[in-house]
Amino acid sequence: DAGHYDNGGYEHYLLKEISEQPDTVARTLRGRIDDRFHIAHLGGLNMDAREIRSFRRVKIIGCGSAYYSGQMGAQLIEELARIPADAEPASEFRYRSPVVEPDTLYVAISQSGETYDTLVAVQELKRKGGRVLGIVNTVGSAIARETDGGIYLHAGPEVSVASTKAFTSTAVAFALLALHLGRVRDLSPADGRRICEGLRRLPEQIKEILTLEDRIRELAKKYADSPGMMFVGRVRGYPVAREGAQKLKEISYVHAEAYPASELKHGPLALISPELPTVAIVPDDELLDKNLTTLGEIRARHGRILMVGHRTSEAADDCIVVPKNEVELDPILLTIPLQLFAYHAAVALGRDVDRPRNLAKSVTVE
């Protein structure tokens, strides 16, 4: 209940929670980075090195934004720990009688720790002998109690219905988990060090991104009256695009679709016109050229483009440039301008930002 918490002088809890992220990310990291051995300390996992080496697969479940953060997490685990990993909505997982494997590590994600679909999926996994970790914000919640161990986010209470600080903290928790699994398996000390140093830079870089708010407000006003928006990203950028689209539809009620940029030409390119602007996630990584080519294809169909990345480009109408971290960690930072964009679009459209219609903060019923 929002009434119990102070809005800290912000007009909306959502803006307060977006603005808290330098601090909440620092809290998720606190005491968990070892700069000597370039490893993560995650005592709450209750897993020894032998067990960690025995997993052949990681399966991540959660609902809504928790699921998108899980998609980000799956990529971090594949890249850093080289274990096949994927994410699935817990709401689907529980209904399809999944095969529960003894050499799979299951990870359930929930801000509230009370989401019914996720809780039932965890219970089903446990019944079938699955090893389940929780990445949870609310201490002592149902999912935290049901899981065998896990990582608490320590992001503090999230009041606004749209998840923001819990999302970034979950992604950070996954980076720590991926580092931990990786350093017990194949990840080199040099890469471990690179990730540890990257993680330490995040809070300051988030502060820098928050200083872009005035510009993002103007862009949100410019694009908010569109009947819909397309969000595209490739590989690491795709979960960022999905979460950006989710935030926009959830609080501004502007229709938004997220697609892998690589899939545009297989269908959705037919939608592109001046009436459907695209938010393109374009990090400086090995896919930069491919992404810039996609921008050219959108441009050729007279689509307007707002590019979010690490540089400006003439292929885009507008650009939001964020500080660069390690390629694996950049998705966390790229998410933040999209939160501000959705927030200011919702404000510009006069929406009930903290309590969007038809939604509950946590869905504790079927």
361 annotated active-site: yes
Site string for ligand AGP, 86-115 (x = CB under 6 A): ------------------------xxx--x
Q: What's the min distance (Å) between Cβ of 226 and ligand AGP? A: 21
Which phi-psi region, left, alpha or beta, contains residue 149 (left: φ > 0; alpha: ψ -120 to 50)? left
Sheet holding 255-260, edge to edge: 255-260, 228-233, 278-282, 305-309, 318-321
Handedness of CA 224, 231, 64, 79 (dihedral sign): negative
Q: What's the min distance (Å) between Cβ of 315 and ligand AGP? A: 30
Q: Which among 16, 249, 324, 361 is annotated as catalytic? A: 361
Site string for ligand AGP, 61-90 (x = CB under 6 A): --xxxx------------------------
Q: Cβ distance 264 to 297 under 8 Å?
A: yes
Instruction: Name 194's Cβ contacts closer than 8 Å, sequence gap at least 6.
Output: 326
Point out the residue whose Cβ comes nearest to ligand AGP: 64
Residue 158, helix vs strand vs coil: coil
**Pairwise CA distance, residues 340 & 345, whole Å:** 8
Site string for ligand AGP, 216-255 (x = CB under 6 A): ----------------------------------x-----
- Give the start-end residues of each E strand in the chain: 33-34, 39-40, 57-62, 85-89, 104-110, 131-136, 149-152, 228-233, 255-260, 278-282, 305-309, 318-321
Candidate residues 26, 212, 349, 363; the one interacting with ligand AGP per rule CB under 6 A:
363
Q: What's the min distance (Å) between Cβ of 68 and ligand AGP? A: 8
Handedness of CA 135, 93, 328, 307 (dihedral sign): negative
Q: Which is nearer to ligand AGP, 175 or 353 (CB)?
A: 353
Site string for ligand AGP, 112-131 (x = CB under 6 A): x--x--x-------------
Instruction: Name 36's Cβ contacts closer than 8 Å, sequence gap at least 6.
Output: none
Q: What's the min distance (Å) between Cβ of 113 and ligand AGP? A: 7
- If 0-12 CB within 10 Å is exposed, 13-18 middle and 19+ buried, where does residue 197 land? middle
Q: What's the min distance (Å) between Cβ of 201 and ligand AGP? A: 26
- Give the start-end residues of each E strand in 90-165: 104-110, 131-136, 149-152
Return the residues of window 135-194 that contact ligand AGP according to CB under 6 A.
161-163
Residue found by looking up tokens 């988990």 in the block: 177
Return the residues of window 253-312 that contact ligand AGP according to CB under 6 A.
none
* CB neighbours of residue 266 within 10 Å: 9
Instruction: Name 6's Cβ contacts closer than 8 Å, sequence gap at least 6.
Output: none
Q: What's the min distance (Å) between Cβ of 123 and ligand AGP? A: 15
Binding-site size for ligand AGP (CB under 6 A) equals: 15
Site string for ligand AGP, 307-346 (x = CB under 6 A): ----------------------------------------
Catalytic residues: 361
Query: Which residues of this protein are in contact with ligand AGP, per CB under 6 A?
Result: 63-66, 110-112, 115, 118, 161-163, 250, 362-363
